[in-house]
Amino acid sequence: MRVLVATADVPFVHGGHRVIASCLVRALREHGAEAETLFTPQNRFGRQFAAYAATRLTDVGLSGDGRPVDQIITLRFPSYALRHERHVCWLLHRMREYYDLWPEWRARLSWKGAIKENIRRRVIHAADSYLLRRVTKLFALSETVQQRLRTWSNLQSEILYPPPPHREYRCEAFDNFIFAPSRLTPLKRQDLLIEAMARVKDRGIAAVIAGEGESAASLAALIRDRGLDSRCRIVGHLADSELIDYYARCRAVFFAPRMEDYGFVTPEAFASGKPVISCTDSGGAVELIEHRVNGFVLPPEPEPIADVIDELAGDRALAERLGSAGYLRATSLSWQNVVEKLLLQK
C-alpha cells in the first residue's frame, strides 16, 4: 500500500507538524506500507488563496513512477485541499488567526485592514468547510481542535491523540529545576513561569527554559528585571540528546500555552516520568493531565503556579508519584494505534 502524508510548510519554521509527519511516515513504514511526505505551500497573509489553489491543483493520484497512490493523509491547512478518492484528514489545526485567534488579531489591524481580512476570513471559512466535508474520514488532533471544528464548521470528527515522538525517553532523577521546553512566543507564556519563579519561596529550585523564538529577548529582560539571573536560565535550542537529558533530570515540566492545539511537551514529559504543570485555558495541552494525579491544572496566574512549584520543591516523592502516573498515561498512546486508525481498508 502506498500512502502519501501531506502537510503544509513554510521555510525556516520547524513546527510540530513536521515532527508528526515524520513520525507518521516512520510508523506507516513499520506497518508495512510505502510512505512518503509531501510538503504543500502555506504562504503568508494575503496570499493564502494561492496556496489553497496550488494545493487543490496538485496531482497526487500517481507517483513519479506512474504507480497509483492508494491513500493520502493530510495534516495541516491547506494540505487538506488535495484531492484523492481515499483521503483521511488528521487535522492538526486550521489558520487560527481566522478562527479562535481572530478577535485579538483583528484588534491589531486598521479599520481598512480589518474589513479586508474579514472578507478573506469568510472565504477561508467557506473553503475549509467545503474541503473538510469532502474527505473520506476526519480525525482531530485533540478535543480542543474537535471543538473548533464543531463551533465554526459544524463538522463531526474523531479524536486521535499523537504519542510522543520516537525518542529514547528515560527518568533519571528529580533534580531541583522546572523544565520548560517550547518555542519562545507569547502564546507559549514562558513569562508566566518567570513571574511565578519571582514568587517562589524556596530559593533552591530553578527554572530552565529551552527554545528559540520572537520572545527570547523580552523573556531575558524579564528575568533580569525580576532579579532571577541565578534561578532562571534560557538555554536556547537543544539537540535531541540534550532535550531528553533535561526531561530525564527535571523535577517537573512547565507547559502552559494559551489554547494550544495539543503540544508534544505533555506526552514527552509523561514518557520521561515527569509531572506537568499547566493551566485551565491551555487547551489540548491539558487534555492528558489529571489534576494532582499526573500533573497540575491551575489558573493562569503566577501565584498558584508558584505555590505548586514550592510544593514540588519540598516534596520529591510527590513529583515521583505524579510522574509515574504520567508515564502510565504515555504508554496508552502508540503510533501503531494511530496507523490502524488512519489507514483505510482496501
**Does position 16 have pLDDT exceeding 80, yes or no?**
no
Q: Say if pTM beats, i.e. exceeds, 0.85.
A: yes
**Does position 322 have pLDDT exceeding 90, yes or no?**
yes
- Quickly state the pLDDT bin for 331 (edges 50, 70, 90): very high
Instruction: Calculate mean pLDDT across residues 52-70.
Output: 90
Q: How far is residue 50 from each of residues 41, 123, 131, 271, measured CA to CA in Å? A: 9, 13, 15, 40
**Does position 173 have pLDDT exceeding 90, yes or no?**
yes
**Does position 14 have pLDDT exceeding 80, yes or no?**
no
Same CATH topology for 2-160 and 177-331? yes
**Does position 47 have pLDDT exceeding 90, yes or no?**
no
In our burial notation (b when 16+ CB lie closer than 10 A, e otherwise), range 290-319 reads eeeebbbbbebebebbbbbbbebbeeeebb
Give CA–CA dist 266/250, Å, rounded: 14
**Does position 108 have pLDDT exceeding 90, yes or no?**
no
- Quickly state the pLDDT bin for 230 (edges 50, 70, 90): very high
Instruction: Give which of 334, 180, 285 is closest to 243, Cα–Cα.
Output: 180
**Does position 46 have pLDDT exceeding 80, yes or no?**
no
For the ranges 43-47, 210-214, 282-286, 292-296, the lowest mean pLDDT is seen at 43-47
3-state secondary structure of 251: coil
pLDDT of residue 84: 96
pLDDT of residue 62: 84
DSSP 36-74: EEEEEE---TT-HHHHHHHHHT---SB-TTSPBP-EEEE
CATH architecture of the domain 2-160 equals 3-Layer(aba) Sandwich (3.40)
- Quickly state the pLDDT bin for 95 (edges 50, 70, 90): confident
For the chain, domain boundaries: 2-160, 177-331
**Does position 139 have pLDDT exceeding 80, yes or no?**
yes
- Look up the CATH superfamily of 177-331: Glycogen Phosphorylase B; (3.40.50.2000)
pLDDT of residue 171: 98
- Cα radius of gyration (the chain): 21
Amino acid letter for position 277: I
- Quickly state the pLDDT bin for 49 (edges 50, 70, 90): confident
Residue 32's CB: how many other CB atoms inside 10 A? Answer: 9
